[in-house]
């Protein structure tokens, strides 16, 4: 029986050429796997037919938009997942769901190998291959661009020579990856980190310099998940799509960052994530109202490690699963409403309300009705500062007290 390879298929030049390229290099039949995670663009049926026309023996197409939103975007939201405190893991969280369908297709069509179109310099090669190993340790992996020397020049020549149904004359200056959670843009003139992004870099967001009238929105959460916008019930996918539209119209969610890739390279990336950034802003503020102080402090540490693991391709790792359990527990009381104003590139919280709020007006107020007994404060401060007081006294005994003449106090 002829061996089979399942290929993560985008419908573009490189993966279209990879179908025949893999077959010629390995002698295997290729099954193309296209997964819709809300990237927009071409109709998936067109993509499926193109895969077959390019030589795939089977074409597996999955509409994973709701699955991606509910099972990948929502955990990222609940974890306030931001790599380097800025990048909302746009590409990183899409790779595990794509790999899940690659493995499913491999089992369905009897394949022994999976393939992807990543280079040897990026993060995605790690994400694809580690996720594959985690779900199906028996499957092998091949990367045509990295392992089989498939350059863009060779891809164009191959496509023209075989008359493949794919455009080869136009070369977008950027490398773009997008899904419903956001859009990532790199390469081209952006590789000079002094160059300012031009208007054609952006697609999900309008220029915030000249915004339309401010847009006020109320986001309702249950257990850390948005369930309504302005009182209208929404699914996770609908919440992201609608916030993409409304926040995007105000230029919210533009990110220009030099980040540390897993392979050790610093890379300049432009991200657009209007829905993700607006929802994370709302979610963080609702947590400020509903999480206990020490719980919230520790969660910030967990969030950073969670984002690093996901960025580094460890979605299915034991530690990531353990951190998920902690995050899930923290979301028990993260329910309520957040009012935000979207305007001029910013999502600004202007109101909060929650039945599970830890905010007590009678304790917080300085006016009449104050229920806080201020007489307790003196004793609290004495005990709280006792250790520092003892250490300072020791420093004085040994001549290491504060030198007031050096201005270091």
Residue 268 has pLDDT above 90, yes or no: yes
Mean local confidence (pLDDT), 192-205: 95
Q: Is 127 annotated as a binding residue?
A: yes
Q: Find the range with the poorest average confidence among 151-155, 282-286, 395-399.
A: 151-155
| Predicted local confidence at residue 409, as pLDDT | 55
Q: Is 95 a catalytic residue?
A: yes
E strands in 198-315: 215-222, 225-229, 232-233, 254-260, 266-272
Cβ burial 235-258 (10 Å sphere, 16+ → b, else e):
ebbbbbbbbbebbbbbbbbbbeee
Rounded to an integer, what distance in angstroms lies between the CA atom of residue 223 and that of residue 327?
11
Q: What is the pLDDT of residues 32-78, one digit of tens each?
A: 999 999 998 779 999 999 999 999 999 999 999 999 999 999 999 99
Q: Is 41 annotated as a binding residue?
A: no
Given the residues 4, 78, 124, 206, the one annotated as active site: 124
Q: Which residue has the tokens 């926040």?
A: 247
Q: Is 175 a catalytic residue?
A: yes
98, 216, 290, 311, 363 from 126: Cα distances, Å: 13, 40, 37, 10, 51
Q: What is the pTM of this model?
A: 0.93
Q: What is the pLDDT of residues 326-363, one digit of tens each?
A: 999 999 999 999 999 999 999 999 999 999 999 987 87
Rounded to an integer, what distance in angstroms lies between the CA atom of residue 144 and that of residue 15?
9
Q: Find the range with the poorest average confidence among 154-158, 211-215, 330-334.
A: 154-158
Q: Is 223 annotated as a binding residue?
A: no
Q: Is 357 annotated as a binding residue?
A: no
183: helix, strand or coil: strand
Residue 169 has pLDDT above 60, yes or no: no
Q: Is 124 annotated as a binding residue?
A: yes
Residue 225 has pLDDT above 90, yes or no: yes
| Predicted local confidence at residue 187, as pLDDT | 84
Rounded to an integer, what distance in angstroms lies between the CA atom of residue 314 and that of residue 15?
24
Rounded to an integer, what distance in angstroms lies between the CA atom of residue 104 and that of residue 36?
15
Query: 226: burial class by Cβ within 10 Å (0-12, 13-18, 19+)?
Result: buried
CB atoms within 10 A of CB 361: 11
| Helix extents (H) in 312-340 | 318-330
pLDDT, averaged across the chain: 93
Residue 171 has pLDDT above 70, yes or no: no
Q: Which residue has the higher pLDDT, 12 or 298?
A: 298
Q: Is 124 a catalytic residue?
A: yes
Given the residues 4, 14, 134, 206, the one annotated as active site: 14
| Predicted local confidence at residue 355, as pLDDT | 97
Copy the structure tokens of residue 292: 């206990």
Q: At 110, phi and psi to the nearest 5?
A: 70, 35
Taking Cα atoms as reference points, which of 339, 234, 196, 231 lies closest to residue 278? 339
Mean local confidence (pLDDT), 217-238: 98
Question: Checking DSSP bridges between strand 113-115 and strand 58-63, what pairing results, if any?
Answer: unpaired
Contact 352, 338 (CB under 8 A): yes
| Predicted local confidence at residue 408, as pLDDT | 58
Copy the structure tokens of residue 64: 């994973």
Contact 58, 33 (CB under 8 A): no
Q: Is 119 annotated as a binding residue?
A: yes
pLDDT band at 19 (very low <50, low <70, confident <90, very high): very high
Q: Which residue has the higher pLDDT, 2 or 388?
A: 388
Residue 368 has pLDDT above 80, yes or no: no
Given the residues 49, 66, 104, 175, the one annotated as active site: 175
| Predicted local confidence at residue 193, as pLDDT | 96
Q: Is 12 annotated as a binding residue?
A: yes
**What domains can you pick out in the chain, each with its CATH number?**
4-173 (3.40.50.620), 176-353 (3.90.1260.10), 361-397 (1.20.5.470)
Given the residues 95, 183, 254, 268, the one annotated as active site: 95
Q: What is the pLDDT of residues 294-337, one digit of tens each?
A: 999 999 999 999 999 999 999 999 999 999 999 999 999 999 99
Q: Is 311 annotated as a binding residue?
A: no
Q: Find the range with the poorest average confidence among 147-151, 169-173, 271-275, 301-305.
A: 169-173
């Amino acid at each position: 029986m002829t061996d089979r390879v399942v290929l993560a298929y985008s419908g573009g030049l490189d993966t279209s050429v990879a179908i025949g390229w893999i077959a010629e290099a390995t002698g295997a039949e290729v099954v193309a796997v296209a997964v819709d995670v809300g990237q927009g663009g071409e109709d998936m049926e067109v993509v499926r037919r193109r895969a077959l026309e390019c030589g795939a023996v089977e074409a597996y197409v999955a509409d994973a938009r709701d699955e991606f939103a509910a099972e990948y975007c929502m955990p990222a939201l609940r974890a306030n997942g931001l790599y380097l405190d800025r990048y909302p893991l746009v590409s990183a969280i899409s790779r595990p769901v794509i790999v899940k369908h690659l493995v499913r297709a491999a089992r369905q069509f009897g394949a022994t190998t999976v393939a992807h179109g990543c280079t040897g310099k990026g993060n995605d090669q790690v994400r694809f291959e580690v996720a594959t190993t985690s779900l199906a340790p028996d499957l092998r992996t091949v990367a045509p661009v990295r392992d089989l020397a498939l350059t863009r020049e060779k891809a164009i020549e191959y496509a023209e020579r075989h008359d493949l149904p794919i455009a080869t004359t136009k070369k977008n200056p950027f490398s773009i990856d997008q899904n419903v959670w956001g859009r990532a843009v790199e390469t081209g003139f952006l590789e000079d980190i002094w160059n300012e992004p031009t208007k054609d870099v952006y697609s999900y967001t309008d220029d915030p310099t000249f915004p339309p009238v401010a847009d006020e929105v109320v986001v309702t959460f249950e257990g850390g998940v948005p369930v309504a916008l302005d009182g209208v019930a929404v699914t996770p996918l609908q919440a992201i799509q609608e916030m993409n539209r409304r926040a995007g119209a105000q230029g919210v969610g533009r990110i220009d960052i030099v980040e540390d890739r897993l392979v050790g390279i610093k890379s300049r990336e432009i991200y657009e994530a209007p829905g993700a950034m607006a929802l994370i802003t709302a979610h963080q503020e609702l947590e400020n109202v509903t999480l206990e102080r020490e719980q919230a402090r520790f969660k910030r540490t967990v969030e950073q490690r969670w984002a690093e693991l996901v960025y580094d391709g460890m979605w299915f790792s034991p530690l990531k699963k353990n951190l998920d359990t902690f995050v899930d527990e923290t979301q028990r009381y993260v329910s309520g409403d957040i009012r935000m104003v979207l305007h001029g590139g910013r999502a600004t919280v202007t109101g909060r309300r929650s039945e599970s709020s830890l905010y007590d007006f009678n304790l917080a107020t300085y006016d009449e009705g104050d229920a806080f007994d201020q007489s307790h404060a003196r004793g609290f401060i004495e005990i709280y500062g006792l250790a520092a007081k003892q250490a300072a006294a020791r420093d004085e005994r040994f001549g290491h007290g504060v030198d007031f003449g050096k201005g270091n106090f």
